[in-house]
A and B are shown apart, each in its own frame.
Chain A
């Protein structure tokens, strides 16, 4: 019978308990899904990287180093890509010489050169970016997910995910360089420099792929080749020695060493695997902490309401454990139920989250397994804490004698310890003081409230700040242009540019970073340059370098600084004269004619054509349509925006739940005061303000404090990405983000506190006449 009473007690609080259950569920769910999915990735990744000999570092050489002084280089050829097209033997000789130099300098490392060629392939009427490779033999070996590696010139192997996204199957044919090639395999490569095709952060598995050709087929592809040198160290000590000694080599002046762990793509995997689980645990602990605080409050309140029932049972001769058992059993079923559901949902979503990660990380698919540690952390630990907390509350209650339990409990409230605060509060109206003191008397509720609202606010701010990351880094730049087609001229060949803008694009080294220098004509038609205020900067091009905001963030260079650029072995110096409000990576602009003059070239030299009409593929090494780039960027944007929307909506839900639970709990604790105020003559609306106004103000205070904290964390996050991966993420909060967030949290408060307001309205005036004080 007593069990029935306990059941009815819990049933009367079903809405509060269900919402509390959702918080408990979220805690178990977040931990399980993050932990299980990332563990699957990690297990797969560890095996994969070891088995397929992932490089420890990559040496990247500036592609346009001036090689004209090398004896085998034909006259008129200045760069390695040009040389590859005209004299492969000389090209191979130079690369072999570099390899020999490295191998003789470091016997504790293995080196291998990897050549690759970029091209565009028409798939279902859309231009896709392909990076073509040939099979390597020592490092970064090919992992075949299905089929086999190409054995003939008319065969090709591509990424499995890319194939799935484009409806391509083994046996299908694709036209590559004018020749039909049969897809014979799906392959993956542990070299994470390779997928960096057009955007350094996201791998686009819809419009981009790595493609493996047979060696002979690769060699005869009529495209310029670029290359990296892969390095594997014999030991960590060898890595340190290599990095120190490399700086002394001649090659170091035109090459950079990127450690695999510092590569944005592979580093992000390591970071995600190590940090993702920590983040999952942190989020889970935060939510669990909020949940536990509320569990403590709800249980304390529910059990205190049961004082009389407990007193009667004790008076009848029931032992403490007999009284406690049904309550603890009910709680065990409740908490285990929600924790278990959270765990099961987490296990169900883990493979989906793993697959989502795989779209970015290009790892072999590994099975999600059940780990006892997950059950321990996601279920047993919070379960034990919840049960322990409830047992302590019950124990404290049941310690009282039966007579004491049967009497209404009179609580006394001690005065504020902080006399200065009390004095400071005196300047406000008594209603406001009541609200403040109301808050100060319930630190556990306030703690849970602040924690919950801050967590939700931070997630919303973070979501908003990342909403436009890819449009800023990709589409915004092209949006500012009137260019519809970009033609890349054939090296050493005349380039058709009649009636269109001529541009000189050169890779450069400056401030320790590889950057792209774009020489524009100040009177060009299609490429405007504007600063933050919208002022045109084209007139500044003749005065020096116009840098982009991404370049500025990356290098911390500012207007007035002098930049020294290493271009094709030559040094060009100039002042930074303005900052364009763009984020196209490490990019800077100057006047084309002045750049040509500085390099000793003809003033009319150009290698890229910007056009607002279609260009003929036959006239150029490559023609890129801006529309296709925008399509790709749009896809990435949609993925990112979907993710951020999920985060924002989830945060909204958490905020709503926290406001609901704590406002209701707060009102339930104050029936007496509410009733008394009504008896005195306060209207419902006034009582609502006095009881809940403090939470509304707390909302505003948390909002105000979370804003600078969020902004600070965004700066730190940006800096971490720049320092670790040399990549600028333009995280920023716009005014409208802040406005919408404020509005969202006002709505959260209004909606979340509705139930509490209704409760206030229904508190009977006679409550004040009962013999209890709170």
Chain B
């Protein structure tokens, strides 16, 4: 699935004050690639993820994913699109605390047209022995793996990851990144990962560097590293 942004601008208005979160962003991401958006706080990387995933609306410009013009979709169409095509992994894991590990994944599988077996995907992320545990009984890394399993169980075309290792220690973070890398390679899922950690950028096919709501440059890496090999900063 190719993602194409053309002249995308996002302005937040608060009273009479206008803040440009994104300004005339042009970007194309190819199917099956691992893309890392890198930038300091306030650079607009989270806004970019929100726009690309349909969580927020553009002020101007167009966003197209394959043949679907996302920027022209209404609320219901956007929901449908997210339901069938997109997956999300957040910094704070965002699990439903009242449900067990397996149920958290099932809740994603329920609405997919061709879901994987929750037990199968949980096995792939190494949680086959934690099916009936609740989120609070898991470590941060384990919770993030549940979050990844929930996103992947519906076999999304694109996986959006917003600082997925932001709350994890180095070893756990590398485990999680390894899982994402493996899934990208085996399932050909397009990944857009946002981080402020330059080390993680070593994993990406493309590195999109942002500052002040604009894309500074887009680098393509021929020799991306394995997650276990990255130099953690």
* Residues of A that sit less than 8 Å from B by CB: 411-415, 429-431, 433-434, 437-438, 441, 672-673, 676-684, 686, 765-766, 768-769, 771, 773-774
A413 touches B98 (CB 8 A): yes
Q: Which residue of A lies closest to B93 (CB)?
A: A773
Best-buried of A433, A684, A765, A771 by chain B (most CB within 10 Å):
A765
Given A680-B107, A681-B82, A765-B56: A433 and B94 interface contact (C-beta under 8 Å): no
Q: How far is the CB of B57 from chain A (nearest CB, A)?
A: 10
A676 touches B82 (CB 8 A): no
- Hey, which chain A residues are within 8 Å of B50, CB to CB? 766
Is B201 in contact with chain A by the CB < 8 A criterion? no
Complex Cα distance A414/B50, Å?
Answer: 32
Residue pairs across A and B with Cβ atoms less than 8 A apart, 12 shown, are: A413-B98, A414-B136, A430-B103, A430-B110, A434-B98, A676-B96, A681-B83, A683-B80, A765-B55, A769-B46, A769-B94, A769-B162
B106 touches A413 (CB 8 A): no
Q: Classify the secondary structure of B's interface with A.
A: mixed
Q: Which residue of B lies closest to A675 (CB)?
A: B94
B134 touches A433 (CB 8 A): no
Q: Name the segment of B13-21, B65-73, B84-92 touching the other chain.
A: B84-92
Q: How far is the CB of B136 from chain A (nearest CB, A)?
A: 4
Q: How far is the CB of B67 from chain A (nearest CB, A)?
A: 19
- B134-147 CB contact bits vs A (8 Å, 1 = yes)? 11110000000000
- Hey, which chain A residues are within 8 Å of B222, CB to CB? none
* Residues of B that sit less than 8 Å from A by CB: 46, 50, 55-56, 76, 79-80, 82-84, 86, 88, 90-92, 94-100, 103, 106-111, 133-137, 150, 154, 162
A415 touches B79 (CB 8 A): no
A680 touches B111 (CB 8 A): yes
Complex Cα distance A681/B88, Å?
Answer: 10
Query: Which of A433, A681, A771 has a CB less than 8 Å from the CB of B79?
Result: A681
B110 touches A431 (CB 8 A): yes
Q: How far is the CB of B129 from chain A (nearest CB, A)?
A: 16
Q: How far is the CB of B121 from chain A (nearest CB, A)?
A: 14
Give how many A-B residue pairs fall within 8 Å (CB-CB): 87
- Hey, which chain A residues are within 8 Å of B103, CB to CB? 430, 433-434
Complex Cα distance A429/B107, Å?
Answer: 9
- Hey, which chain B residues are within 8 Å of A414, CB to CB? 134, 136
Q: Which residue of A lies closest to B167 (CB)?
A: A771
- Hey, which chain B residues are within 8 Å of A686, CB to CB? 111
B92 touches A771 (CB 8 A): yes
B98 touches A680 (CB 8 A): no
Complex Cα distance A413/B96, Å?
Answer: 10
A434 touches B55 (CB 8 A): no
Complex Cα distance A774/B92, Å?
Answer: 12
Query: Which of B55, B90, B108, B110 has a CB less than 8 Å from the CB of A429?
Result: B110
- Hey, which chain A residues are within 8 Å of B162, CB to CB? 769
Q: How far is the CB of A694 from chain B (nearest CB, A)?
A: 11
Query: Which of B82, B83, B107, B136 has a CB less than 8 Å from the CB of A434?
Result: B107
Given A676-B94, A681-B84, A773-B92: A437 and B134 interface contact (C-beta under 8 Å): no
Complex Cα distance A411/B97, Å?
Answer: 9
Query: Which of B83, B86, B106, B134 has a CB less than 8 Å from the CB of A682?
Result: B83
Given contacts A415-B100, A682-B79, A682-B83, 18 further A-B contacts (CB under 8 A): A411-B97, A413-B134, A415-B137, A429-B110, A430-B106, A431-B107, A433-B103, A434-B96, A434-B98, A676-B96, A680-B107, A681-B79, A681-B84, A682-B111, A766-B55, A766-B56, A769-B162, A771-B92
- Hey, which chain B residues are within 8 Å of A681, CB to CB? 79-80, 82-84, 86, 111, 154
Q: How far is the CB of B164 from chain A (nearest CB, A)?
A: 13
A769 touches B110 (CB 8 A): no
